[in-house]
Amino acid sequence: MILEDGKPIERPLAWRIGDYCWGIFPALASLFAITALWQFGHDRLGTMLIPAPLTVLTRAGDILMTAARGDVLLTLARGGIGIALALACGISAGFIAGSSRTLALLLRPVNTVLLGTPPIIWVVLAIFWFNMGSTSVVFTVWITVLPLVFAAAQMSIASIPAPLSEMLETYRVPWPRRLRALYLPHILRQLLPALIVAVGSGLKITVMAELLGSNNGMGSAIASARAMLDTVDVMAGVILIVAIIMAIEYGVLEPLRRLFITERRS
């Protein structure tokens, strides 16, 4: 943050974008270091245990260029639906609970139980309830991500500074200005980090649910590769899901977090 006479200077949008892009280089250095360690492990342990990075990346590219990319798109669709449902239900219920202390106390044990239940339990129960397929996968993602979003939404409402809210009401500040000046920045400060966690966790749980409870999708493809002892396909699937999560987080969610949180703080 640049200061002038003790006050922050509002930087142009292009400057902020350039600053964010410059921050990619340390992340690339970390990725290169991981790749070097990966290559070292391949040289020491062999292809059966750790396939070569170039071989895995080539296979990942082949998956995206052939009909196998349908599994990738199906996994993204299932994960996206489950995450979207969790966001809609979690944010709505969280806002209501954050506005009522009694309701928050009633729902707190339920949310604790949901948070404490391992995702693998929900996968097994979903298979019993909905059989194998998209419904069980979407349900598992929804029920696992829901308590994370609910807790963040509830906290975002419950932690709004009461004196500031009362001051805005006393001076009869119009609702659009209240939202822009206090409520929206405060809520986003709580929700955006939770959204980053929700998207990453949701996609990982999607793959896990498909591995155990579906006959198609990336998880099912990884399960088939595991049965055939094809470590190249297994690693290619891992690389693809990690790349998708990183693209969503650093290409969409992190810029939004910086835009709505960092600049508000400055």
User: What average pLDDT does the segment 192-211 reach?
Assistant: 91
pLDDT at res. 96: 92
Q: What is the token pair recorded at 162?
A: 């009461």
Does 121 reside within a domain?
A: yes
pLDDT at res. 209: 93
pLDDT at res. 78: 95
Residue 145 contacts residue 83 (beta carbons within 8 Å): yes
Domain of 178, in residue numbers = 70-265
Residue 137 has pLDDT above 90, yes or no: yes
Does 176 reside within a domain?
A: yes
Does 212 reside within a domain?
A: yes
Residue 207 contacts residue 75 (beta carbons within 8 Å): yes
Rounded to whole angstroms, how far apart are CA atoms 206 and 202? 6
Mean pLDDT across the chain: 85
User: For the chain, what's the residue count?
Assistant: 266
Q: Which residues contact 149 (CB under 8 A, 6 or more apart)?
A: 86, 87, 89, 90, 91, 94, 191, 194, 195, 198
pLDDT at res. 3: 46
Q: What is the token pair recorded at 205?
A: 């749980």
Phi, psi dihedrals of residue 9, rounded to the nearest 5°: -95, 130
Phi, psi dihedrals of residue 40, rounded to the nearest 5°: -60, -45
> Tell me: the pLDDT tens digits for 94-131?
999 988 888 888 999 999 999 999 999 999 999 999 98
Does 43 reside within a domain?
A: no
Residue 33 has pLDDT above 70, yes or no: yes
Whose tokens are 């990942």? That residue is 60
Instruction: Give how many domains the chain has, as a whole number.
Output: 1
Residue 62 contacts residue 120 (beta carbons within 8 Å): no
> Tell me: the pLDDT tens digits for 40-95?
999 999 888 999 999 999 999 999 898 788 999 999 999 999 999 999 999 999 99
Residue 83 contacts residue 199 (beta carbons within 8 Å): yes
Domain at 104, CATH number: 1.10.3720.10
pLDDT at res. 2: 52
> Helices (DSSP H) in the chain: which residue ranges?
13-22, 24-45, 53-65, 69-99, 101-116, 119-130, 134-158, 162-170, 175-178, 184-213, 218-227, 231-248, 254-257, 263-265
pTM of the model: 0.84
pLDDT at res. 164: 73
Phi, psi dihedrals of residue 130, rounded to the nearest 5°: -120, 5
Does 45 reside within a domain?
A: no
Q: How many CB atoms lie within 10 A of CB 43?
A: 10
Which residues, listed in sequence order, are joined to residue 7 by a DSSP beta bridge?
4
Does 112 reside within a domain?
A: yes
